[in-house]
Amino acid sequence: MRTLIELTHEPLNPEQITNQVRQDGNGAVVTFLGSTRDSFEGKRVLKLDYEAYEDMALKKMEEIRQEICAEFGIADLAISHRIGTVDIGQISLVVAVASPHRKEAFYACNKVVDRVKEIVPIWKKEVFEDGSRWVACEDHEFTHTEAATINTDND
């Protein structure tokens, strides 16, 4: 039984995930590893904390799997995402794609990563020495005027 979609608190094993998609009919295997970066705008990141809406995340990952398999005419695609605390330099995402010829595998892999970042309800928080930030939430920053108004309302 293959596990093609996975959310886990445990470290990801890229070789094991890649083996899920290897078949004798496939001449190409592409595996993407997303790993946690040690800096944001010059600030040192100590670790990342991932949070997921797990039921929906698994549903959206499976939707992406089916969508990309149909678009590229492939059958062997696995997506695994780690959640919880992930130390710097660790693997947070593995996408493994196999196809008879290499082009489909390269393009499909790239598109899966794009779609995961677009629609799967997973959030990461970068933790610094002196604070933290939720990645991709910049447009949720309040202007100084708005912040002042809110503080007044609360008084």
Partner 1 sequence: MHLVVTFFALYRERAGLRQLALELPKGGTVSELTDTIRHRFPNLAPSNVKIVVAVNSEYADPDLELQEGDEVCLIPPVSGG
User: Residue from 34, 38, 111, 128 that binds partner 1 (CB under 8 A)?
Assistant: 34
Pick the stretch among 21-29, 70-78, 102-110, 141-149 that binds partner 1 (CB under 8 A).
141-149
The reply on whether position 123 binds partner 1 by CB under 8 A is yes
The reply on whether position 139 binds partner 1 by CB under 8 A is yes
The two structure tokens encoding residue 4? 């093609």
- In 3-state terms the chain splits into helix, strand, coil percentages (rounded to 5) of 35, 35, 30
3-state SS of 47-94 is: EEEEEECHHHHHHHHHHHHHHHHHHHCCCEEEEEEECEEEECCCEEEE
Contacts to partner 1 from residues 66-95, by CB under 8 A: 81, 92-93
Residues touching partner 1, count (CB under 8 A): 35
Which CB, 28 or 113, lies closer to partner 1? 113
